[in-house]
Chains A and B, each alone.
Chain A
Amino acid sequence: MDFELNQDEKQLAAEVEAFLEKELPSGWLDDVVDWPGGYGTMSHVEERHEAFCRDFNRKVGAKGWHSLGWPEEYGGKNSWVKQAVVDDLISYYRAPAYGVARLIAAPTILNVGSDEMKKEWLPRIAGGESFFWLGYSEPNSGSDLASIRTSAVEDGDELVVNGQKIWSTGAHVSDYAWLVARTDPQAPQHKGITLMIIDNKTPGIEIRPLVNICGVHCFNEVFLDNVRVPKANVVGDMNRGFYNLMLALQFERLVAWTGGYRRTFEELVRYARETVFDGRTLGQDTLVRDKLADLAVDIEVLQNMFWKTAWMMDHGRTPEIEASALKLFATELSRKLAGVGMDILGPYGQLGREAKWTPMTGRFGMGYLDSISGPIGAGTSEVQYQVIATRGLGLPRG
């Protein structure tokens, strides 16, 4: 048993930190919200940061830091723990490098993609050049992804896609869709879906913004009207899309903004330590101490879960129950952190960014709103409970 990073990993951490301190504009930490566990205030999908984000990701790519977990033959270092070192720090600095491309698309391609697909896409993703959005949910298909209606009809070398996707985070600042469509309407639902990559510039794609409750344009509705997709863009096998999607979801569930939780928690602790209310600090209040200590427990648990899943992947063990547990825990903690912040800050917690008397740039108010999204996206908590209980613990499905 060893809970410490080794020399190599520590060196990497120091390098990453130095890089982030240098590359992120001053004031970045306060400027962005990037609520940990939320999908609505992520720094990397805001239009105002698009240019910076692209540039930043290329620089991260130049360091090889998007692909540390990949096999060496694809430019990786075979180390998911090293990737975790990078990811933890990126989220600690609220840096805009949490892309679908490297977190979800690349690991899936590595597992089920053809050699051609790997050659075509992995270098670009490793280089931080390509931005992807997830084309999963539709208005009538949320938790029940197998029921999607967007269709993809074969026409020679191409598939012609028609339909609509929704909750498409970042579609407006992305280059490609990572999308599932029905290719065999005659087959049973789960067996007639195909996963594919679609160029955002393909004619027939219309992206319409949706404003979330945080007031941020983060996600969209996307309409696909006779969009032609080369068959070479099919990920894995035709009609195996549902299963490939489930694999992609596993990877998505492993993404936990551990650093972001730590940072936000530290800010709250510092605030409690330094802020005097009626002649004594908040931190001297027993109740506040208890709430913060309780959060400290949760953050420690989260960090352990995060590092352990990365370590498992380096040792040939696939995190399954662990992935759902990590996602469930992290996103529910996202709400708890916001709620505890509200309790501690009292009426000050509701103040907006520009308001007089607002603590910590109004972060907790935004977090209170954004934390609605965590336990909903990437598989609701209810779904995660079920996966843990049935696939994880073996309880009967009923």
Chain B
Amino acid sequence: MDFDFSEEQNILKKSARTFLTRELPRTRVREIVAGEAGYSDEIWNKMAELGWMGLIFPETYGGFDGASLDLVLILEEMGANLCPGPFLPTVAAGLAVLAAGTEDQKAGLLPELAAGSTRAAIALTEPMTRGPASLTRIGAKADGGDWVIDTVKVFVPYAHVADWLLCVCRTAEDDDPEAGLTIFRVDRETPGLTLTPLENMANEKLYEAAFDQVRLPASAVIGEVGRGGPAIRDAFDRAALGRAAEIVGGAQAAMDMAMQYAGERVQFNRPIGSFPAVQKHFADMYMLISGARQLVYQAAWKIDRGLPARKAIALAKAHAGRTGRRVTTLGHQVFAAISFTMEHDMHLYYRQALAGDLAYGNSDYQRQVAARELGL
């Protein structure tokens, strides 16, 4: 067993931290999330130069053959620095293409994505469905040599800046919920596609993507008709894990902020960190974060070893979701009233933790997944 990172991983982690700390003081985070795009092109391009978008993809397609664990380290630092933007959605879309696409499709789409020239997102969840990946209605029908998509997707991240979306539709009925799904690549400017922002309190750019009789050629199908389910499942799971890593990073940063304050703020002639009630909060934060972090690393390691990882991912995301929310709530509690102001930074972490739990399946959903993996 080995619970240490490699030399290279430590260097990667440190350089990610240095880069993000420099680029994203919290004032800049606020500016960016208040803007329409919700991310910074400048920072995005720098991340591309660092090779982050390409990290997880094979060299054949312009990537760096990196490990999930490496990506997790970067995402943890992104979470710690509240880095907003379509990085994870883009990587997730790329992973779906990698898993499902034909050779031509992979060669055609992935190099640009790996180079950071593409922003993309998976449009999966339909309104009023249980769980993020429940597709019960037929969303696309064959018409001549074309396909016509008629569906609505919700909570599509950063759809408004995506170059293309992967719209996942049920094209055939099947008892197996993962069978009969087709992945369509849809350019953002395609006629019939309307994006509506879903304003929210979590500081995320989320969209409804309505596909109203969107006509696509057969070439828009990524991989095989009716066979996109497993690839989407896989990409989705890995995005969930990535989000879990961000949550852990954010939780740690929130805890660190609160720790510093607890050492400095004096009431009753002693630092508030000397009170047992406050100390218990920090001990609780520590327990939650360490546990969640380990589960995230473990799940990433399983992916990298080619081991079945669905249960590990579900447990990691379930725990991370709960951890982020609890830690940031406690962070607010330590700072007390001052953190109830817009001006203070704790609510940025509080919102991020919430958004993280709710994305790619919240804790309750993940525990249902885990229950199924337990054979129940």
B-binding residues in A (CB < 8 A): 40, 137, 141-144, 147, 166-167, 210-213, 215, 275-279, 285, 287, 335, 339, 342-343, 346-347, 349-352, 354-357, 362, 365-366, 368-369, 372-373, 375-377, 380-382, 385-386
**Residue from A335, A350, A372 within 8 A of B200 (CB atoms):** A350
Q: Nearest CB to that of A218 among chain B residues?
A: B340
Chain A residues whose C-beta falls within 8 Å of the C-beta of B342 in the assembled complex: 211-213, 215
Q: Is the CB of B341 within 8 A of A350?
A: no
Q: Nearest CB to that of A285 among chain B residues?
A: B130
Q: Is B105 an interface residue (CB 8 A)?
A: no
Chain A residues whose C-beta falls within 8 Å of the C-beta of B339 in the assembled complex: 213, 372
Q: Is B332 an interface residue (CB 8 A)?
A: yes
Chain A residues whose C-beta falls within 8 Å of the C-beta of B217 in the assembled complex: none
The segment from B46-54, B164-172, B287-295, B356-364 found at the interface with A is B356-364
Interface range for B: 35 or more
Q: Is B301 an interface residue (CB 8 A)?
A: no
Q: Is the CB of A346 within 8 A of B333?
A: no
Q: Is B376 an interface residue (CB 8 A)?
A: no
If A167-B337, A213-B339, A372-B339 are given as contacts, then 18 extra A-B residue pairs at C-beta distance below 8 Å, sorted by A number, are A141-B267, A143-B267, A143-B268, A210-B343, A278-B136, A342-B358, A346-B365, A347-B154, A347-B155, A347-B206, A347-B362, A350-B354, A355-B200, A356-B196, A357-B208, A366-B201, A382-B333, A386-B277
Q: Is the CB of A357 within 8 A of B277?
A: no
Count of CB-CB pairs between chains A and B under 8 Å? 130
Q: Is the CB of B128 within 8 A of A277?
A: yes
Q: Is the CB of A144 within 8 A of B268?
A: yes
Q: Is B307 an interface residue (CB 8 A)?
A: no
Chain A residues whose C-beta falls within 8 Å of the C-beta of B201 in the assembled complex: 350-352, 362, 365-366, 368-369
Contact A347-B332, Cβ < 8 Å, known A147-B267, A278-B134, A355-B199: no
Q: Nearest CB to that of B154 among chain A residues?
A: A357
CA distance A368 to B347 in the complex (A): 11
Q: CB-defined interface of B258-295 with A at 8 Å, one 1/0 digit per residue? A: 00000000011000100101100000000000000000
Contact A355-B198, Cβ < 8 Å, known A210-B341, A346-B362, A380-B336: yes
Chain A residues whose C-beta falls within 8 Å of the C-beta of B350 in the assembled complex: 213, 369, 372
Q: Is the CB of B336 within 8 A of A335?
A: no
CA distance A147 to B355 in the complex (A): 39
CA distance A350 to B201 in the complex (A): 6
Chain A residues whose C-beta falls within 8 Å of the C-beta of B267 in the assembled complex: 141-144, 147
Chain B residues whose C-beta falls within 8 Å of the C-beta of A372 in the assembled complex: 329, 332, 339-340, 347, 350
**B149-185 with Cβ < 8 A to chain A:** 154-155
